Amino acid sequence: MAPGTAAPDAASPGPHAALEAQIDQWRGYVRRREAISAADVDEMEDHLRERVEDLRATGLDDDEAFLVAVKRMGTLDDLSREFAQEHSERLWKQLVLVGEQPGRTRSWRELAVVLGLAAGAGVATKIATSVLDEDVVALNAALLVLPFLTAYLAWKRQVTARVVGALVVPFVALGLVLNLYPFEPTGSTLVLAVLAAPAVVWAVVGVAYVGGRWRSDARRMDFMRFTGELAVYYTLIAIGGGVLLGLTTVTFSLAGVDLEPYLDTWILPLCVPAALIVAAWLVEAKQNVVENIAPVLTRVFTPLTLVMLLAAFVVLATAGDLADVDRELLILMDAILVLVLCLLLYSVSARDPLAPPSFFDGLQVLLVVAALAVDAVALTAMLTRIAEFGLSPNKTAALGLNLLLLVHLAWSAVLATAFLRGRRPLADLVAWQTRFLPAYAGWAVLVAVVFPPVFGFV
Amino acid sequence: MRIDKDLVAASATPLVLGILADGESYGYAILKRVDELSGGRMQWTDGMLYPLLHRLERLGLVEASWGTSDVGRRRKHYAITAAGREALVERQAQWDVVAHALQQVWRSAQDGLQNPPRVAEGWA
């Protein structure tokens, strides 16, 4: 509630407590309408109180006066529509990030912190790319950028010293391990470590995001929402940045200045990491105000992915001999399962837990089942091949991830079916989605830290 | 007697501007004045006044400022601007035309009631 409006009538502190509570509740209802601003609610509250007083003067009691006054104010839907017509910009006002809200100093300070950290991430990457080998930079990419994101989230959540410790230790430990291991320059364990390190670090970002309360299912789900939104925002920023850079390059080239050499050495190392921090800030600033886009995308892509999977199943099942296929197939399968998992996760994350099962929920179960069927075909083909040639680091990593995804999706399918039949609440499915996530982080740690020594750093 | 909704809507702007032309006021007081002026026969949905006031503010016909009521609540006051007075004069001229036309129609309608048209007789 805006300051200066909460003060109840000085003349009536005790006797009208019920009325005050009712007015408070009314404010809450009105305030939820996006088209009606806090100032408008103040204005209408003043009106409401005067009306109530006048009605009381005619002999009505508090309750009656309140009811009549609210009734005379008009239905909230009509009112909201009328306000929306006059103030349509308010429905879009989420675009204003540093607005005329109370607590404005905090948002400016936040902007400063964000820009500082974004610059830090950019500069760290720039320095690393200019003094280190490409391999080393790739290995440390996540460690160069994500600590700044973690710092922003930790600052925003005002985490305790213990959580700060829990955030710093993994960064340092992973940094030491990755940089002290004697990797073969072109070894596959190096490539695996490059791929797994960001996943490990992302788990640390998650700990910062949830403010150290990583055991909470709800907070973990929030982190998944954050991840999805961040991916969407980052893509948008990247596209926008690409267009801007393209225009700039062309304009400069007309004037005879070639921007290309600076692109790789300056612009990209500085901007790509910085954009991530800015994207995270946008997601943070816009949560609660705008509908999440990731769940909307799942609605669009679930039916399309189902069609794609059915086609893939037919192709794989009729292809005959799959023994020639490489580990590529396994990695491809992992990618497909991750996609299906994301579709499931994000639609579950935005679903109204109280709504009855719908057609879309059924479609989702079909999608998961189709993905499992495709994976089963691919996995049988791979297993025969692995039995023949033994396990390489790549195959082991891909296979392990595949099994994790398989377990995750299979149990999701069971829970989702039970939900469709009304045997289990949706909450079980939601909880399962987030509870299984640490397993992926654990696997990433194994791949990044344990695989290299086990496979002799090749 | 209840006044038709469209008629209330059409007359709202000149009424509000006219009330404000008498001096600065605020939402609830404006509504009370409308009530007095119409003898309680023009019923507005209270909340609808505010989008209207905001529209007039956006058009520059009124100016708003935040003050406090006598019990210390935040209250938004509205005052008419020069552009608002011009608009009021313009609206007044429009309403005069409408009122004049209506009066003539009423008069001929009354005449018609007293002396039914001859055409009708011819057909009877």
Model confidence over B51-110: pLDDT tens digits? 899 889 888 899 988 888 888 888 999 999 999 999 999 999 999 999 999 999 988 888
Give the C-alpha distances (Å, rounded to integers) separating A376 from A313, A334, A362, B83.
Answer: 10, 12, 21, 76
Q: Which of A11, A74, A85 sits opposite B46 (nearest CB)?
A: A74
The pLDDT tens digits of the residues spanning A360-374 come to 889 999 999 999 998
- How big is the CA angle at A236 (ends A233 and A241), to the nearest 5 degrees? 125
B54 close to A (CB below 8 A): yes
Q: Residue A327 has what pLDDT?
A: 66
Provide mean pLDDT across the span A301-309: 92
In chain A, residues with a C-beta closer than 8 Å to the C-beta of B72 are 7, 10
Q: Is residue A106 scored above 70 in pLDDT?
A: no
pLDDT digits (tens, 9 = 90+) for A46-74: 999 999 999 999 999 888 999 999 998 88
| A79:B26 CB<8 A | no
- According to DSSP, residue A403 is labeled H
Look at residue A393 in the predicted model and tell me its pLDDT: 87
pLDDT in tens, A200-257: 999 999 999 988 887 888 888 889 888 988 998 999 999 999 999 999 999 999 988 8
> What pLDDT was estimated at residue B124?
46
Q: In the structure encoding, which two tokens stand for residue A444, read together?
A: 């990433």
> Does residue B78 contact residue A110 with C-beta atoms inside 8 Å?
no
Query: Residue A100 — pLDDT band, cuts 50, 70, 90?
Result: very low
In angstroms, the CA A282 to CA A98 distance is: 11
**pLDDT score, position A14:** 62
Higher pLDDT, A139 or A95: A139
Question: Of the candidates A10, A46, A69, which has its C-beta nearest B75's C-beta?
Answer: A46
* pLDDT in the model for residue A237: 93
The pLDDT score that the predictor gives to residue A346 is 87
Phi, psi of A99 (to 5 degrees): -100, -170
Give residue ranges of A with CB < 8 Å to any B CB.
Answer: 4-5, 7, 9-11, 39-40, 42-47, 49-51, 69, 72-74, 78-79, 82-83, 85-87
Exposure string over A220-245, b if 16+ CB within 10 A, otherwise e: bbbbbbbbbbbbbbbeebeeebeeee
Q: Which domain holds residue B16?
A: 5-123
- Interface membership of B120 toward A (CB under 8 Å): no
Distance separating alpha carbons of residues A218 and A396, to the nearest angstrom: 32
Alpha-carbon span A457 to A182, nearest angstrom: 7
CB A226 within 8 A of CB A172: no
Confidence label for A105 from pLDDT (cuts 50, 70 and 90)? low
The confidence score (pLDDT) of residue A321 equals 66
Q: Which residues of A touch B57 (CB under 8 A)?
A: none
How would you classify residue A323: left for phi > 0, otherwise alpha for psi between -120 and 50, otherwise beta?
Answer: alpha
Chain A nearest C-alpha distance from B109 (Å): 37
At A382, the pLDDT band (50, 70, 90 cuts) reads confident
Put simply, the answer to whether B76 touches A43 (Cβ < 8 Å) is yes
- Total structural domains within chain B: 1
| 3-state helix, strand and coil shares in percent for chain A, rounded to the nearest 5 | 80, 0, 20
Residue A410 pLDDT greater than 50, yes or no: yes
Q: Per the CB < 8 Å rule, is A10 touching B45?
A: no
Q: What is the CA radius of gyration of chain A?
A: 28
Nearest by CB to A50, which of B28, B58, B76? Answer: B28
Nearest to A46 among B48, B51, B74 (CB): B74
Contacts of B26 in chain A (CB under 8 A): 46
Rounded to the nearest 5°, which phi and psi values hold at B62?
A: -130, 160
**A273-302 burial, b if ≥16 CB within 10 A, otherwise e?**
bbbbbbbbbbbbbbeeeeebbbbebbeebb
8 Å CB contact of B73 and A73: no
The answer to whether A78 contacts B27, with C-beta atoms less than 8 Å apart, is no
pLDDT recorded at residue B86 = 92
Of A76-90, A98-112, A146-160, A284-298, which gets the smallest average pLDDT? A98-112
Q: How confident is the model at residue A315 (pLDDT cuts 50, 70, 90)?
A: confident
CB contact under 8 A, B50 and A44: yes
Range A130-154 average pLDDT: 91
Q: DSSP for A356-395, please give it.
A: PP-HHHHHHHHHHHHHHHHHHHHHHHHHHHHHHH---HHH
Position A3 scores a pLDDT of 42
Average pLDDT of the segment spanning A2-13: 44
CA A233, A169, A217 angle in degrees (round to 5)?
55
Q: Are strands B25-26 and B62-68 parallel, antiparallel or unpaired?
A: unpaired
Which tens digit of pLDDT belongs to each residue from B7-25?
888 889 999 999 999 999 9
Mean pLDDT lowest among A94-108, A222-236, A308-322:
A94-108
Contacts A4 to B, Cβ<8 Å: 74
B109: exposed, middle or buried (Cβ count in 10 Å: 0-12, 13-18, 19+): exposed
Q: Which strands sit side by side in the sheet containing B74-80, from one edge to the other?
A: B25-26, B74-80, B62-68
B50 close to A (CB below 8 A): yes
Identify from B5, B34, B46, B75 which residue to disrupt to test chain A contact, counting A C-beta atoms within 10 A and taking the largest count.
B46
Confidence band (pLDDT; 50, 70, 90) for A11?
very low
Output the domain CATH number for residue B98: 1.10.10.10
Residue A196 Cα to chain centre, angstroms: 19
Do residue B73 and residue A85 have CB atoms under 8 angstroms apart? no
* Sign of the Cα pseudo-torsion (A404, A409, A412, A418, in order): negative
Beta bridge partners of B65: B77
Most A-contacting residue of B32, B42, B44, B50 (CB-CB within 10 A), to test interface: B50
Give yes or no for residue A331 having a pLDDT over 90: no
Given pLDDT bands bounded at 50, 70 and 90, which one contains residue A98? very low
